[in-house]
């Protein structure tokens, strides 16, 4: 087997800290959430479905985090450009429909490098964004 190095990325302890902060915010606002953290390659690192969160939002939370990595930006930034009259309408169908182009996905940045991302779903898009922001702030 060839020796190599792995891209530096978010650790499990860091992912848990992000999820704990997001969970605390979701509890504070009274909205159970699905909360996902992916690594720098967009691979799932950790996920929590709070009691009462929608099972349909599990994949959406993961996809929001993945989309953040794929485009190196908050999913909020993609919302306007992907509307039917936007310049990149249809983007959400790329990657086999895995992209989520609405608020709730935020990169986790250390020293100017994206080390992972958080994705949150189940509430309104405003609630998803608030909870994702709280999680990202804990990174």
Regions in the chain scoring below 70 on pLDDT: 1-7
pLDDT of res. 94:
79
Which pTM value belongs to this model?
Answer: 0.93
Q: Which residues, 6+ apart, have CB-to-CB distance to 105 below 8 Å?
A: 64, 65, 67, 68, 74, 75, 76, 117, 118, 119, 120, 132
pLDDT of res. 130:
98
pLDDT of res. 4:
61
How far apart are alpha carbons 133 and 139 in whole angstroms?
A: 10
CATH of span 12-137: 3.30.450.150
pLDDT of res. 93:
81
pLDDT of res. 8:
81
Domain layout of the chain by residue ranges: 12-137
The neighbour count for residue 6, using CB atoms within 10 Å, is: 8
pLDDT of res. 107:
98
């Amino acid at each position: 087997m060839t020796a190599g190095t792995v891209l530096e990325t978010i650790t499990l302890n860091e992912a848990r800290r992000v999820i704990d902060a997001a969970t605390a915010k979701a509890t504070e606002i009274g909205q159970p959430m699905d909360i996902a953290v992916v690594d720098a390659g967009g691979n799932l690192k950790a996920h929590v479905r709070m009691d009462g969160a929608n099972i349909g939002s599990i994949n959406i939370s993961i996809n929001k985090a993945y989309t953040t990595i794929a485009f190196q930006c908050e999913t909020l930034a993609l919302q306007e450009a992907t509307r039917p009259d936007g310049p990149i309408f249809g983007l959400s169908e790329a990657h086999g429909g895995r992209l989520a182009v609405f608020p709730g996905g935020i990169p986790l940045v250390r020293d100017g490098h994206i080390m992972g991302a958080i994705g949150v779903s189940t509430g309104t898009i405003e609630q998803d964004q608030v909870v994702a922001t709280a999680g990202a702030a804990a990174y």
